[in-house]
Amino acid sequence: MSLRKQTPSDFLKQIIGRPVVVKLNSGVDYRGVLACLDGYMNIAIEQTEEYVNGQLKNKYGDAFLRGNNASFFTYSFLRAAFQLVM
């Protein structure tokens, strides 16, 4: 059985339309559905929720996050589990 190597670009294309968590350098988390991203890692999210210190602060329809403000983002297939950790 051979494993196919996957590039980061391939992975990102696969998770469009799936729940993600984006953590900004400020510590604020944005959770929602990944709509698209570009070569600068600018991120467009739909059904966005803003969390500060683990508490929901705002809900937005769509949000655009500049890539240089994000410290990381992750595919959130265990979204409920992530919320329990926070």
The enclosing domain of 62 has a CATH number of 2.30.30.100
Domain count, the chain: 1
Residue 5 has pLDDT above 60, yes or no: yes
| Single pTM value for the model | 0.77
Inside any domain, residue 79: no
Contact 56, 66 (CB under 8 A): no
Name the residue range of residue 42's domain: 8-72
Inside any domain, residue 61: yes
Inside any domain, residue 13: yes
Inside any domain, residue 2: no
Q: pLDDT-derived band of residue 2, with 50, 70 and 90 as boundaries? A: low
Rounded to a whole number of angstroms, the distance between the first and last alpha carbons of the chain is 38
- The tens digit of pLDDT for each residue in 61-81 reads 999 999 888 888 787 655 444
- Residue 67 has a pLDDT of 87
Inside any domain, residue 25: yes
Residue 63 to residue 50: CA distance in whole angstroms: 10
E runs forming strands in 1-86: 19-24, 29-37, 43-52, 55-65, 70-75
- The tens digit of pLDDT for each residue in 6-62 reads 777 777 778 899 999 999 999 999 999 999 988 888 999 999 999 999 999 999 999
Indicate the DSSP class of residue 6.
Answer: -
Indicate the DSSP class of residue 3.
Answer: P
